[in-house]
Amino acid sequence: MALNSNNYYESNGYMSASLLKQFMKCEHTALAMYKGKYILPKNTAMLIGGFVDAWCEGTLDAFQDNNPEIFNKKIIELPDTAERIGNINPELVTKNGNIKKDKLSRAKKEYPEMFKTEYTLKSDFIGALDIINKISNNKMFMEFLTGEKQKIVTGQITGIPFKGKLDVYNGERIVDLKIMRTCERIMGKSLVEHWGFDIQLAIYQELIYQETSKRLPCYLAIATKEDPADLAIVEVNQTNLNIAMETVRNLLPRIKKIINGEVKPRRCNHCEHCRETKELKIIDSDLLGMSDEDIFYVTGEEN
């Protein structure tokens, strides 16, 4: 099946950078996602990233239509709402011609067509607009966002079909736009390493190489949610990309066996999908809170 922007996320049977990172976190959930049986719930951070990505792609209107949860919804009276309701149902309205306070929710329920629904962006997304404003006013950052947006690439890594969606591709470099909390280091690591962005870019670089025979430099264009926002253009150097690709190639044989049903996927034992699908049994207190992988290393047995 040829991939396009409409079927990209629904198409099963492909590995991707995000799925690979999910396999590193929780094989049980990753396998369900690979098979199209489970979708990670959207969280605010993902929605903010999607919001700015959509702006970058020029599809912010469609994004807002498809994600109503980014709005606060308020039902408000029109200038003639009370009068019109009073004409139909006088007991809901005071002598002064206002809707009675204790009858307001009933009025909204019974006569919804006489009210107006007002949608206002939630504060997190007003913050996202501030970020967009800061990005828009930075010439260098905007240069890195110039090119083909959300380019879909496919290929194979160690014989496994992969797909990728590149935020910005201009034929000379690969750029991924990231909206982060901060650029600070996390537990002694750069956020690139901590969040596996090197792995993501190494996969993109490889897929583009397979398509074009060109190994292109890879960048992250980072904007933070701080006030004022911090901006960074980060090059992930080829040594780090090679190391990340080595990690990918080392992980894939086990993932392939899990996908083929030869190896049972291990659970992290704490994510949403693990909790949802848990079968209750007695567990030793020493093992409580451990992932199946930790349990394997401690006991030598698969959970």
Q: Which of 15, 17, 26, 259 binds Zn ion (CB under 5 A)?
A: 26
Task: Name the 3-class secondary structure at 7.
Answer: coil
Judged by CB under 5 A, which of 19, 183, 232, 271 binds Zn ion? 271
Strand 71-77, strand 174-180: pairing: unpaired
DSSP type of residue 222 = E
Alpha-helical runs (H) found in the chain = 17-25, 27-34, 44-57, 60-66, 81-88, 104-110, 123-136, 139-144, 191-194, 197-212, 238-259, 272-276, 292-299
Q: Which stretch binds Zn ion (CB under 5 A): 101-109, 201-209, 214-222, 265-273?
A: 265-273
Is residue 274 within the footprint of Zn ion (CB under 5 A)? Answer: yes
Q: CA 108, CA 106: separation in Å to the nearest integer?
A: 5
Number of residues that bind Zn ion (CB under 5 A): 5
Task: Specify which residues 71 forms β-bridges with.
Answer: 121
Q: Which stretch binds Zn ion (CB under 5 A): 78-86, 184-192, 203-211, 266-274?
A: 266-274
Residues 211-250: x where in contact with Zn ion by CB under 5 A, - otherwise, as a string? ----------------------------------------
State in angstroms the smallest separation of the CB of 195 from Zn ion.
18
Tell me if the bond preceding 41 is cis, omega within 30° of 0: no
Q: Pick the binder of Zn ion from 29, 200, 205, 224 (CB under 5 A).
A: 29
- 263: Cβ–Cβ under 8 A, 6 or more apart, which residues? 254, 257
290 binds Zn ion (CB under 5 A): no
Give the binding range for Zn ion (CB under 5 A) out of 29-37, 74-82, 101-109, 205-213.
29-37
Question: Is 202 one of the binding residues for Zn ion (CB under 5 A)?
Answer: no
Tell me which stretch binds Zn ion (CB under 5 A): 26-34, 121-129, 154-162, 223-231.
26-34
The answer to whether residues 47 and 274 touch, using CB atoms and an 8 Å cutoff, is no
Q: Contact positions toward Zn ion, by CB under 5 A?
A: 26, 29, 268, 271, 274
